[in-house]
Chains A and B, each alone.
Chain A
């Protein structure tokens, strides 16, 4: 039977992009380029940092002012308590996961603008999501850092999760995905705990800190709660460029500079 489709010549011509061998063959091509190999992605927690107000945020702003003289930073923010509130109202109204994801973006964006107001004297401001991705390298050339709402633009296209209806790709996932796509130097998740514990440290005073852990091992340990989006484990497993993230305690702002200098000051979660 003649092929009546009209093809453009390429090594994927006529191929099914679902075929396993075709998919595997694409891994042997040129390794992905690193667009921003010197930039770090730093995600500031919503509930854990921003919602605490000046007692937590101002010392971190001072620390950021210092490190921005040495490092290029892409700062993501979480949505915090307002996102959880809008989830609860949306759930009560019977709205689907994609709608919850769409409306929650506004909360992280609000926090991005708060941070941008505090860092404005340094030329570090919140970039509108529509411009952020395409212009990121340009912005970062002109300023020591940029701020974005950590949310990935999944919005109505958010995936229904395995359990419940809360959007699974939140601001930790969105911040990580920026780093992976742009080939950044590191990802630092700034929270209000020292890292990943073997039990929730807010409920179990005896919980002990895990300093270094692989994705597979962390899954096997069946820790009930994690200080970051669980989907991050899946993303790390499939990473090509950014193979680990470090979770640090932002209530100890001096740790930020240390983590950016490559020191191990919190929990490092790695793909292998």
Chain B
């Protein structure tokens, strides 16, 4: 059989890709030529924390749900859910029993899914659907029709979750999954709803002297080499290579009005930007 060398291809880049090596940096640079289309430029990806919001129950969740509903006429939202304390329990038991990182990732997905289902039932009367990864093809219709959808924010890596550099907990969890959705769709914004006012120099739950940081770049943040950070470190690493979603906002979802302000593009919480 003939090799594909003499196939007619649409572009010179096409020929180079068919014939060349996908590890060749020269060739890879050529693939960055044109602009990237924004698939869903109107949608705001909103990640709702597991331990920080959902595990607090109705006291934290109901006002936030109300705020989501109030914003539906003005803003499209794709709501991702974190996992929280049950994931920590599952990881603890799993680590004690020698579960590999890929299996821990499956366990984390289940908890994130529980949270998505619960929020889904609270939003069901507004016609907001819950979608699993296999249903993302329907997302544009749901957003056009209902203005919002809920998904579990754990990326669907399951057994293919990579080991972390240190430890065994899956490095790509719900912050990462939500962020990557916002990047691939070229979303209008990526908002992380947590229970702190944003990024601090240390964990404000443990350190009274922790200082709030309203605005910072990824490079500055990585240079600080903090003991703890308000979002998964993988998000910061991915932001450096992002083509479309060059900034994220972390807000305190326990404060009424913060989500609305973030959706309106106001300066609330911490803005972390790639540039």
Residues of chain A at the chain B interface (Cβ within 8 Å) = 3-27, 29-33, 35, 47, 51-55, 81, 84-85, 87-89, 91-99, 130, 133, 152-166, 169-170, 174, 177-178, 180-183, 200, 224-226, 228-230, 234-235, 237-241
Contact = CB atoms under 8 A, between A and B. Distances in A.
B162 A8 contact: no
Q: How large is the interface on B (under 10, 10 to 19, 20 to 34, 35 or more residues)?
A: 35 or more
B157 A241 contact: no
B228 A88 contact: no
Given A21-B227, A29-B96, A225-B23, A164 B157 contact: no
A142 to B, nearest CB: 19
Interface in B231-268: 231-233, 238, 240-244
Given A10-B88, A152-B157, A239-B163, A55 B1 contact: yes
19 contacts: A8-B88, A13-B85, A23-B167, A23-B169, A30-B97, A32-B100, A84-B17, A87-B31, A88-B11, A92-B13, A93-B37, A94-B37, A96-B184, A155-B133, A156-B180, A180-B100, A181-B159, A226-B21, A226-B23
Contacts of B9: 85, 88
Interface stretch (B53-61, B69-77, B214-222): B53-61
Interface string B99-117: 1111100000000000000
B28 A163 contact: yes
Nearest to A53: B1
B91 interface: yes
B156 A25 contact: no
Given A11-B92, A51-B3, A95 B36 contact: yes
A157 B181 contact: yes
B31 A5 contact: no
Contacts of A32: 98-101, 168
Secondary structure dominating the interface of A: loop
A13 B88 contact: yes
Contact of A99 (B14, B39, B102, B165): B39
Contact of A5 (B56, B96, B238): B56
Contacts of A180: 100, 102, 163
Interface in B183-225: 183-184, 186, 195, 203, 205
B24 interface: yes
A8 B56 contact: no
B228 A25 contact: no
Nearest to A23: B167
Contacts of A85: 9, 14, 17-18
B37 A95 contact: yes
B22 A84 contact: yes
Contacts of B229: 18
B225 to A, nearest CB: 9
Counting chain A CB atoms within 10 Å of each CB, the highest count among B13, B14, B26, B57 belongs to B14
B52 interface: yes
Given A98-B183, A157-B177, A163-B32, A152 B98 contact: no
B160 A24 contact: no
Given A53-B1, A163-B32, 16 more contacts: A4-B56, A18-B231, A22-B167, A52-B3, A94-B37, A95-B36, A96-B244, A157-B133, A159-B238, A161-B241, A164-B32, A174-B160, A182-B159, A183-B100, A238-B164, A241-B100
B89 interface: yes
Nearest to A88: B14
B33 A91 contact: yes
Contacts of A31: 98
Interface in B1-53: 1, 3-4, 7, 9-11, 13-14, 17-18, 21-37, 39, 51-52
Nearest to A231: B162
A129 to B, nearest CB: 10
A257 B128 CA distance: 55
B3 A177 contact: no
B164 to A, nearest CB: 7
Nearest to B25: A163
